[in-house]
Every structure is written in structure tokens, then in C-alpha cells.
A = this chain, B = another copy of it.
Amino acid sequence: MATVLSVSGSPSVSSRTAKLLRHLDTRLAAQGHEVIPLDVRTIPAEALLGADFQHPAVVEAAGLFARADGVVIATPVYKAAYSGVLKALLDLLPQYALAGKTVLPLVTGGSTAHVLALDYALRPVLNSMGAAHIVQGWFTLDKDITTGRDGSVTVAPGSAEALAQVVDQFSAALGRRHLLAATG
């Protein structure tokens, strides 16, 4: 139905944030969305930090945002906020790169003491980029994410349920936009 860009903002190779996100991607794909994964850490470092808007990797990332109907933004909490590498990518996008788009913010962290970083740090940045609808997001504790040797991901029941709910609300919000376009 919709094209969803699924962005992991973790700098870590073995990131739980990224694994959780790819796990949730399958739910979105099963609901009929085209899901495009983007891991910030795979973008060349000199492109991200060089403030070079013309770098091919930056142009490509901007293009992915431009064609998406919905964007999932996932980040670990570091120092009471989103990761620097995620912000470095967002800094290279046009000011209103999220205009007209539906956005699902997801945050992971080691302690519930960081929960409010989602609403006080991440959302204001997404809002400044013109997002049309930032749906309710979710904070997942690191310890609630278990990864198997085969790459499988298991989420503790309470968080799994909440994540399924916010993903479905995001999917429904994307659907409403589609429906309206069809009937409007």
C-alpha cells in the first residue's frame, strides 16, 4: 500500500535497535507496505560528517526520504537524547524532508529513566522537519530485546504487544492517507 523508509540511527554494528527495527519491518511488509531499510552506519562517514549535500550517498539518502510515504525512525538513547549519527543524517536532509509524511518514532535504552527522550528530544526535531503526523511511538528497554544466533529477535511480552500496537497504528495512519487519496 505505502512505501516506508525504515531508518536505524544506531552507530553500532551489533545494534539491538537495528535488529529490533528489522524485526518490526517484517510486520509492516506483511501488511502490504514496501519497506526500505536504511542503516545510518552504512552511509560513508565522510559523507555524513562532511556537510557535503552533494555527496552521492547523501543525495541517495535524501531521495529515499523523498519517495517514502511513511518513515520509521529508530534510535538508541545516548546522553538523554537521540544518537549523534542519526542527527548527522537528518542535518543533511532538506529542512522539510518529512513534509506530508507519517512518522513512527522508536527509541531503545538501558533504563526507563530515558523514556521522555522520545517526546522531548526526538519529536521536536521531527516536527521541525514538517512531519504531517508523528504517531505514538514506543521506548523499548534493551533487556527486553533478545537476539538469537540465527539473527532472530524476541521481544519481552509487554513491549512486544505495545510495539505491535504502535506499528499497527502507524500502518493504519498510512492507510487513511491512501484511502483519502483514492476517494478524495
**Nearest-Cβ distance from residue A133 to partner chain B, whole angstroms:** 5
- Name the one of B50, B133, B180 contacting A135, with C-beta atoms under 8 angstroms: B133
Residues of B within 8 A of A139 (CB): 113
> Is A115's CB within 8 Å of the partner chain B?
yes
Known: A83-B91, A84-B90, A135-B133. Contact between A11 and B128, CB under 8 A? no
> Is A86's CB within 8 Å of the partner chain B?
yes
Q: Is the CB of A129 within 8 A of B79?
A: yes
Cα A113 to Cα B45 with chains together (Å): 31
Taking Cβ atoms with an 8 Å cutoff, the residues of A that contact B are 11-13, 41, 45-46, 48-51, 78-91, 95, 111-117, 119-121, 123-125, 127-130, 132-136, 139, 169, 173, 176-177, 179-180, 183
Q: Is the CB of B84 within 8 A of A91?
A: yes
Query: Ordered nearest first, which 5 A-B pairs have the shortest CB separation?
Result: A84-B88, A84-B87, A80-B128, A45-B45, A120-B120
Q: Is the CB of A121 within 8 A of B119?
A: no
Q: Which secondary structure dominates where chain A touches chain B? A: helix
16 new A-B contacts, CB < 8 A, other than A78-B91, A87-B88, are A11-B91, A49-B88, A79-B87, A81-B121, A82-B87, A83-B87, A84-B91, A112-B113, A113-B116, A113-B139, A114-B116, A116-B117, A119-B124, A132-B135, A133-B135, A176-B179
Cα A84 to Cα B88 with chains together (Å): 4
Cα A125 to Cα B130 with chains together (Å): 19
**Nearest-Cβ distance from residue A32 to partner chain B, whole angstroms:** 16
